Amino acid sequence: MTTRRADELELKESLRADCTRCAALCCVALAFRASEEFAADKLPGIACPNLVEGHACAIHGRLRTAGYRGCATFDCFGAGQQVSVHTCAGVRWEDGGAGAANMFVVFDAMRRLKELLWHLADAAEAAGTGPLRATVDETRHVVQALVWEEAATLEHLDVLALQQQVLALLGEVSSAHRGQLPACSGLPLAAGDLRQADFTGANLRGADLRYARLATAVLAGADLTGADLFGADLRDADVRGAQLAGSLYLTQLQAEAADGDEATTLPGAIRRPAHWRTADPADRGQRSPRGDGDGSPGDAFLFEDSWEDAAGRFGREPEGGG
Ligand code: SF4
């Protein structure tokens, strides 16, 4: 492993959620809607009814079966512990008032910053020694410095504008990186509504799948090396036996939402989700209900952003409905 690659992996390790050092911020600050992902509505800034003393979740071990799959897949990229232990140290959201409200604003900004750092680590690796590498490194330093800023600075940070800037850079790196790969096999590559599409065994190397709607799509055995999966909706996508190692911008959240197995290859920083099954080629194409994951509030799905909100914000128009 090259030193540079090891550095990127180390950075990503530092972006792991540690719920034991977090005041359960995601369970309070964020909102969610009753849906396939959540069993009930919850308003932002209101503690989830399942949150119990000690910042613990009463249904921790059975989130998926209890209808809270969104919580089982959510990932704060370590924003929770950063805000709880560092940025807003000494503030208790339980005390309410402006302190709590500010803490939630800071948590939102921090989660976005940390997610950007995750993707910038991928971008640094993909950029290699190419012309974009210096810009990626410079951008990482700016974002990394913001992570350690005081709460008052983060409260007023225009984090959405920063996101737009960084996402443009991620797109540039992606285009350059994918341009070096041999063209894939003529399958529809423009991101869009690919729900339930069957890409079994397909060559999707270098495909542009940014914000692609791949929920319930079959990608079993597909080769996604170099494919850009930024923001792709992989909920219940069948990625058994798929080559996801070498894909760009994949997050733990997307992996947790998908349905893979032991034969699925993953980028080095992504942990194999607990609910993925043992590889069985004879089983590919057959869907079965998913079991429980480890159920920590630190591994979940989009809370306040629907896929439509996120895709629209970054310039990719959602197609079709729900
Ligand atoms: S993990 Fe989900 S269900 Fe459990 S307390 Fe947090 S928000 Fe509620």
Count other Cβ atoms within 10 Å, centred on residue 156: 9
3-class SS of residue 2: coil
Q: Is any ligand 1 atom within 6 A of the Cβ of residue 68? A: yes
3-class SS of residue 290: coil
Q: Helix and strand tally (H, E) in the chain?
A: 10, 2
Q: What is the pLDDT of residues 245-298, one digit of tens each?
A: 999 999 999 999 999 999 999 998 999 999 898 665 555 444 433 333 333 333
Out of 41, 59, 296, give the residue to mutate to test ligand 1, the one with the largest number of ligand atoms within 8 Å of its CB: 59
Atom number, ligand 1, closest to the C-alpha of residue 296: 1
| C-alpha span between 29 and 68 (Å, rounded) | 16
- What's 186-223 look like in SS3? CCCCCCCECCCCECCCCECCCCECCCCECCCCECCCCE
Nearest residue (CA) to ligand 1, atom 2: 71
Is the pLDDT assigned to residue 65 strictly greater than 90?
A: yes
Q: Is any ligand 1 atom within 6 A of the Cβ of residue 297? A: yes
Q: What is the torsion angle, in degrees rounded to the nearest 10, for the CA atoms of residue 41, residue 101, residue 113 and residue 87?
A: -130
Is the pLDDT assigned to residue 317 strictly greater than 50?
A: no
Q: Is any ligand 1 atom within 6 A of the Cβ of residue 17? A: no
Burial of 110 (0-12, 13-18, 19+ CB in 10 A): buried
| C-alpha span between 268 and 247 (Å, rounded) | 11
Nearest residue (CA) to ligand 1, atom 4: 57
Identify the pLDDT of residue 13: 84
Identify the pLDDT of residue 267: 94
Mean pLDDT of all residues belonging to the chain? 85
Domain extents in the chain: 3-178+302-313
Residue 72: pLDDT band with limits 50, 70, 90: very high
| C-alpha span between 238 and 236 (Å, rounded) | 6
Identify the pLDDT of residue 192: 67
Averaged pLDDT, 55-79: 94
Tokens for 312, please give them. Answer: 């629209």
% of the chain beyond a pLDDT of 70: 81
Count other Cβ atoms within 10 Å, centred on residue 13: 10
Q: Is any ligand 1 atom within 6 A of the Cβ of residue 52? A: no
CA of 26 to the centre of ligand 1 (A): 8
Q: Is any ligand 1 atom within 6 A of the Cβ of residue 19? A: no
pTM, two decimals, is 0.85
Question: Do the bridges between strand 51-52 and strand 56-57 make them parallel or antiparallel, or are there none, so unpaired?
Answer: antiparallel
Identify the pLDDT of residue 78: 96
Q: What is the pLDDT of residues 177-223, one digit of tens each?
A: 998 887 654 454 555 688 889 999 999 999 999 999 999 999 999 99
Q: What is the pLDDT of residues 88-127, one digit of tens each?
A: 999 999 999 999 999 999 999 999 999 999 999 999 999 9
Averaged pLDDT, 162-181: 94
Is the pLDDT assigned to residue 236 strictly greater than 90?
A: yes
